[in-house]
C-alpha cells in the first residue's frame, strides 16, 4: 500500500495533528478528501477511532451520485410537502397584520401604545398635564410672566417647563425663518412638542408671539378640551415699542428687519382666550395698571400677581392634583 501524507492543518495541536489518507474505501466513501483546506476541528473525534468506527459499520455512498456523508450533512432542509408551507403561511395571516397609517409624507407607520399612560404619569407627579399658551407682541412681557408662573408652580412642588420662542429657534427650529409659512411651521412644531409635555403630565408654558389665529387654533385642537389655556398679553404696540427690550423695533423701523410683527407683519388678537391680561409700564419697566380677565376683572401690579391668577385657575380646574 502506498501511503501519502496530507499537508498539515493550520494548527499543530489536537486530534488532527497528523492526518494520512489513501485509497481506503472507507476514506473514499466518507469523502474525507473534501476535508482538506477546511477547519474540521471539533467535528470528529480522532482519525483512528473514526476509521475504526467506519470499518465496523461501513457507510455506502448512494448509487451513481458519488455523494458523501459531508454532502448529506450540508444538504438544505426542504419541506416534506405543501402542507408544511401552508402551516407557515397560516401562522401569520394577512388579516391579523397591524393596520398601518399614512400621515403627511410619512407612509406605512404604526402607532405603538405603552401600558403606562398619561393618567399613570399624572398620578406619579400629582398634577395634570396641560399647556398654558402665552401670546402677544414682542416686548409685551410674555417671557417674564412665563418665568414667574414657572417659579410659582415650582414653589408648590409642581413640575413645569417653558418653551420660549427664541430658545426653540436656537435648536429645534433653527432652520426656520420669519416668513409667514415658516412662522406657521414654527408654531406647529412647538404645538406638537407642547402636546408631548402635557401627555407626560407636565404643565407646559409657551412664550410665543404666535401672531396667527389659525395656528393657535390648530395647537388648541391637538389637546383634549380644557387642556389648552390661552393667555393673551394685551399690550398696545406703542407701549411694546417704547420698551423695546431687545432693540428689535428700532431695527424694524430702520428697515433692517423684515416681516416684524406689528410693523410690517400683522398680529391677530385671540378671539376666545381663557385670559386677557392688559397692562402698561412705568419708565422703569415695572408693571402697573390692571389685568383684565376674559370673564372677570382683578387688579394687580406685578408679573407674580398675574401668575397667581393663572395658578388659581389651575387649582380650581383640578390641574394641581392627580
Residue 232 has pLDDT above 90, yes or no: yes
Say what the pLDDT of residue 220 is.
97
**Could you say which architecture CATH assigns to the domain 118-317?**
3-Layer(aba) Sandwich (3.40)
Most confidently modeled range among 10-19, 250-259, 271-280: 250-259
Question: By the 8 A CB rule, do 294 and 273 touch?
Answer: yes
Residue 290 has pLDDT above 90, yes or no: no
Indicate the pLDDT class of residue 303, thresholds 50, 70 and 90. Answer: confident
Rounded alpha-carbon distances, angstroms, from residue 277 to 7, 150, 243, 311: 93, 17, 17, 14
Q: What are the helix and strand counts (H, E) for the chain?
A: 12, 13
Beta bridge partners of 297: 292
Q: Can you give the residue ranges of every domain in the chain?
A: 118-317
Choose between 319 and 96: higher pLDDT.
319
Indicate the pLDDT class of residue 97, thresholds 50, 70 and 90. Answer: confident
Percent of the chain at pLDDT above 90?
58
Contacts of 125 by beta carbon, 8 Å cutoff, 6+ apart: 158, 159, 201, 202, 322
Residue 63 has pLDDT above 70, yes or no: no
Q: How far apart are alpha carbons 287 and 309 in whole angstroms?
A: 15
Question: By the 8 A CB rule, do 185 and 210 touch?
Answer: no
Question: By the 8 A CB rule, do 46 and 22 touch?
Answer: no
Q: Record the pTM.
A: 0.67
H or E stretch including 4? strand 4-5
Q: How far apart are alpha carbons 227 and 202 in whole angstroms?
A: 11
Q: How far apart are alpha carbons 39 and 11 in whole angstroms?
A: 10
Percent of the chain at pLDDT above 70?
63
Q: Which of 210, 280, 302, 312 is catalytic?
A: 210
Residue 288 has pLDDT above 50, yes or no: no
Angle, CA 287 vertex, CA 295 and CA 246 arms, to 5°: 115
Rounded alpha-carbon distances, angstroms, from residue 299 to 143, 276, 285, 313: 21, 13, 18, 16
What does the block give as the cell for 85?
408551507
Alpha-helix residue ranges (DSSP H) falling in the chain: 25-30, 47-56, 69-73, 82-91, 118-125, 142-155, 165-169, 180-199, 213-221, 237-243, 248-253, 303-316
210 belongs to the catalytic site:
yes
Q: How far apart are alpha carbons 77 and 59 in whole angstroms?
A: 21
Q: How far apart are alpha carbons 222 and 288 in whole angstroms?
A: 35
Tens digits of residue pLDDT in 17-50: 444 445 555 545 555 545 454 554 454 455 555 5
- Please give the span between the terminal C-alpha atoms of the chain, in angstroms, as a whole number: 93
Amino acid at each position: 500500500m502506498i501511503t501519502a501524507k496530507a499537508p498539515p492543518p493550520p494548527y499543530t495541536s489536537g486530534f488532527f495533528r497528523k492526518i494520512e489518507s489513501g485509497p481506503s474505501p472507507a476514506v473514499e466513501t466518507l469523502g474525507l478528501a473534501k476535508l482538506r483546506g477546511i477547519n474540521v476541528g471539533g467535528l470528529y473525534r480522532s482519525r483512528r477511532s473514526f476509521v475504526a468506527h467506519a470499518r465496523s459499520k461501513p457507510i455506502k455512498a448512494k448509487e451513481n451520485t458519488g455523494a458523501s456523508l459531508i454532502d448529506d450533512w450540508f444538504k438544505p432542509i426542504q419541506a416534506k410537502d405543501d402542507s408544511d408551507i401552508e402551516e407557515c403561511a397560516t401562522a401569520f395571516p394577512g388579516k391579523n397584520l397591524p393596520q398601518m397609517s399614512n400621515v403627511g409624507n410619512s407612509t406605512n407607520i404604526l402607532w405603538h401604545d405603552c401600558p403606562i399612560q398619561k393618567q399613570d404619569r399624572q398620578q406619579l407627579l400629582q398634577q395634570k398635564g396641560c399647556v398654558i399658551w402665552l401670546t402677544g407682541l414682542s416686548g409685551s412681557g410674555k417671557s417674564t410672566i412665563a418665568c414667574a408662573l414657572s417659579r410659582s408652580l415650582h414653589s408648590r412642588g409642581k413640575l413645569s417647563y417653558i418653551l420660549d420662542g427664541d430658545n426653540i429657534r436656537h435648536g429645534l427650529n433653527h432652520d426656520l425663518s420669519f416668513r409667514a409659512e415658516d412662522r406657521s411651521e414654527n408654531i406647529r412644531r412647538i404645538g406638537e412638542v407642547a402636546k408631548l409635555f402635557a401627555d407626560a403630565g407636565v404643565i407646559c408654558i409657551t412664550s410665543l408671539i404666535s401672531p396667527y389665529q389659525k395656528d393657535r387654533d390648530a395647537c388648541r385642537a391637538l389637546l383634549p378640551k380644557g387642556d389648552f389655556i390661552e393667555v393673551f398679553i394685551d399690550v398696545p404696540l406703542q407701549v411694546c415699542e417704547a420698551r423695546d427690550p431687545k432693540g428689535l423695533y428700532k431695527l424694524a423701523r430702520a428697515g433692517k428687519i423684515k416681516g416684524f410683527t406689528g410693523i410690517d407683519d400683522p398680529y391677530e388678537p385671540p378671539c376666545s382666550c381663557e385670559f386677557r391680561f392688559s397692562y402698561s409700564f412705568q419708565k422703569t419697566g415695572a408693571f402697573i395698571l390692571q389685568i383684565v380677565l376674559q370673564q372677570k376683572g382683578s387688579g394687580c401690579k406685578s408679573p407674580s400677581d398675574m401668575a397667581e391668577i393663572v395658578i388659581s385657575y389651575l387649582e380650581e380646574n383640578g390641574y394641581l392634583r392627580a
